Amino acid sequence: MTFKKISQVCSIPAPIAVFLAIFLTGCQAGKKIADGDAEKIPFTTADLKAAQKVIGLSFTDNEIDTLYGTVARNLDGYQGLRQTPLENAVAPALVFDPRPAGFNMAEVPAAGTAEWGLPEEVTLPDNKEELAFYSVAELSVLIRTRKITSVELTGIYLERIRRYDARLEAVITLTDSLALVQARRADAEIAAGKYRGPLHGIPYGVKDLASVKGYPTTWGAQPFKNQQFDFTATVVEKLEAAGAVLVAKLVSGELATGDIWFAGQTKNPWDLQQGASGSSAGSGSATAAGLVAFSIGTETWGSILSPSSQCGATGLRPTFGRVSRYGVMTLAWSLDKVGPICRTAQDCALVLNAIKGRDEKDRSTIDAGFVYDADLDLKTLRVGFLEEEFSKETGKWGENANQALATFRSMGIEPEPMTLPGGASVYALMSTIIRAEAGAAFDDLVLSNQDDDLARQTRWSRANSLRQARFIPAVEYIQANRYRDQLINEMKAVFDRYDAVIVPTNTGNQSALSNLTGHPAICLPNGWDDKGRPTSISLLGGLYKENILLAIGARFQALTDFESRHPAGF
């Protein structure tokens, strides 16, 4: 019986009828097998004996015989479920919450007046193209005081995209017509005294995982290169409400992995022989090269911090649930996060303030306060650092990391040696969870063999990861999440003691660990390697305590100039 017939006969809503139809399909298939129609079963007990080796189990012959028919009935149930494809946007009924038992939301400021520390006066340069590397904070003053119009500034960035992007492959879709409409509106509002705030009139780009009505949203993958949605992602809507101007959709690595996409590889503007890292490759590259004033990226496991580090930008990965993911491609429901990639920590604060907040369209979001204080007394903070991981940094990375520690000490911070929980097992947990969830999110791609159309087909490719997902038992996924809950409580103990933890960006387990537990992080440029490419340092913070990370980052950048430099040739 089809779901339409069930709905008509029983007078129940169509969604419920769909699942009843699936259930009946599975039951009918199971009854067929139970009645002894064994020749219809597409596998033998010998297949089961061989398959158990993949998951590290060993059942007796009698146990295999006993479960044989039930496993076959399970397979028929799966086939019934597959008759109703699920779109990527459909989330599971289970919603991840990073807050451990006993977490006190009262410790998160609910309201307050931000102290942005914006410059009082900004001079317009003789060569206006230099504005491409001004911070959002500086540009906001120029626009607010009407020393430059949004239309003029937008034109500078659009021209730079047309001139330089062929070398970078950071932009996938130019939204120039939309940008000019938004820029003209911003200028008219500002002239009329309707100033919306520091992002008003500022040109930016968004990673091409986020839908924008009227434009393609390709997810960086060949099977979706002509995909369009009739709605706009919440993060883009919030930026429009803040008056920001969308000039481009920026390249995402293929289905949110790496810097390779269906038409090429996004480059690091400091070294065009090197990829920008991923998967917010376009966001990191375009921001560093001055093609946008700031950008929006996403992170599941390193995809904001890694391209920020590689390209010399400042990237903020917010607390899980801090920013809505509605309208943004899902890779892993319990891990995906949306955040800004900017020139400075102060800019990241300005952008986070605009995009944060509860969204009824994304059940993982939460209303948690955010109050930025540029004058935060850093001497009152207790800060840890991963001494063992710092000792593993070598060459210029090691020199720059130790110099960064010295700079933090000059700010009145006294970092204490400490360790993080989890050890090497964190990678096994992350691998199990991210692959299982990504496999579910893109199951239709594998079942239809469209995974063969993805650009990368290597061991570490997204295509291979999606296929591997089919060999992760549901029990192991649940067990991984139980261990994850233990890590969440262990991390609570860390941040009950410390306000922030300084970590090398590229060593240790901190990236996997903090993504699993949903904690925020910021990546700060701190120098260059022997080849003139950026190096970085990162900080982890307590849940919803981005304000502390950003204040530390802003003070660090006030004492250094790494964030203000830009790559030669751009």
Q: Which of 32, 37, 40, 67 is nearest to 52 (CA)?
A: 67
Sequence-distant (6+) residues with CB within 8 A of 89 are: 330
Block residue for tokens 């944060």: 356
Asked whether the beta carbons of 97 and 119 are under 8 A apart, the reply is no
C-beta of residue 276 within 8 angstroms of C-beta of residue 478: no
- Pairing between strand 171-174 and 245-250? antiparallel
- Cα–Cα distance between 303 and 335 in angstroms, integer? 11
Q: What angle do CA 327, 329, 334 make, to 5 degrees?
A: 100
Distance (Å, rounded) from C-alpha 340 to C-alpha 348? 6
Q: Which two tokens stand for residue 238?
A: 């919030």
Question: 112 near 371, Cβ under 8 Å?
Answer: yes
Report residue 66 CA to chain centroid gap: 45
**Residue 326 φ then ψ, to 5°:** -60, 130
Torsional class of 399: left (φ above 0), alpha (ψ -120 to 50), beta (otherwise): alpha
Residue 113, pLDDT score: 86
Domain ranges across the chain: 3-81, 105-111+123-421+480-564
Out of 135, 303, 308, 465, pick the active-site residue. 303
Q: What is the pLDDT of residue 84?
A: 87
Query: How many residues make up the chain in this entry?
Result: 570
Q: How far apart are CA 502 and CA 537, in angstroms?
A: 8
237: tokens are 């809507």
The structure tokens 């979001």 sit at: 365
Residue from 135, 207, 536, 545 carrying the catalytic annotation: 207
C-alpha R_g of the chain: 25
Q: How far apart are CA 368 and CA 56, in angstroms?
A: 43
**Under 8 Å CB-to-CB from 294, ≥6 apart: which residues?**
136, 202, 204, 287, 340, 341, 342, 343, 347, 351
- Distance between CA 486 and CA 490 in Å, rounded? 6
φ and ψ of 79, to 5 deg: -60, -40
500-504 and 383-385 beta bridge pairing:
parallel
Query: Both tokens of residue 198?
Result: 């520091």
Q: How many helices (H) and strands (E) does the chain have?
A: 19, 15
177 is catalytic: no
Q: What is the DSSP letter of 101?
A: T
Tell me how far apart the alpha carbons of residues 357 and 295 are, in angstroms, rounded to a whole number: 18
pLDDT, one tens digit per residue, over 493-508 is: 999 999 999 999 988 9
Active site residue 128: no
What distance in Å separates the CA atoms of residue 305 and residue 119, rounded to the nearest whole number? 27
User: In angstroms, how far is the first alpha carbon of the chain from the final one?
Assistant: 63
The CATH code of the domain at 105-111+123-421+480-564 is 3.90.1300.10
Q: How far apart are CA 37 and CA 264, in angstroms?
A: 51
Contact 284, 276 (CB under 8 A): yes
Helix, strand, coil percentages for the chain (3-state, nearest 5): 45, 15, 40
For the question of residue 249 being annotated catalytic, the response is no
Residue 156, both tokens: 């500078």
> Would you call 481 helix, strand, or coil by DSSP?
helix
Q: Are 309 and 267 in contact (CB under 8 A)?
A: no
pLDDT along the chain (570 residues), means of 10: 39 41 42 55 92 92 92 90 91 96 88 89 96 98 98 98 98 98 98 98 98 98 98 98 98 98 98 97 98 98 98 98 98 98 98 98 96 96 96 95 98 97 93 97 96 95 95 96 97 98 94 98 98 98 98 98 96
Distances (CA, A) of 89 to 86, 207, 296, 440: 8, 17, 19, 11
The active-site residue, picked from 150, 211, 252, 279, is 279
Strand 521-528 relative to strand 314-317: parallel, antiparallel, unpaired?
Answer: antiparallel
Question: Do residues 392 and 509 touch, judged by C-beta distance below 8 A?
Answer: no
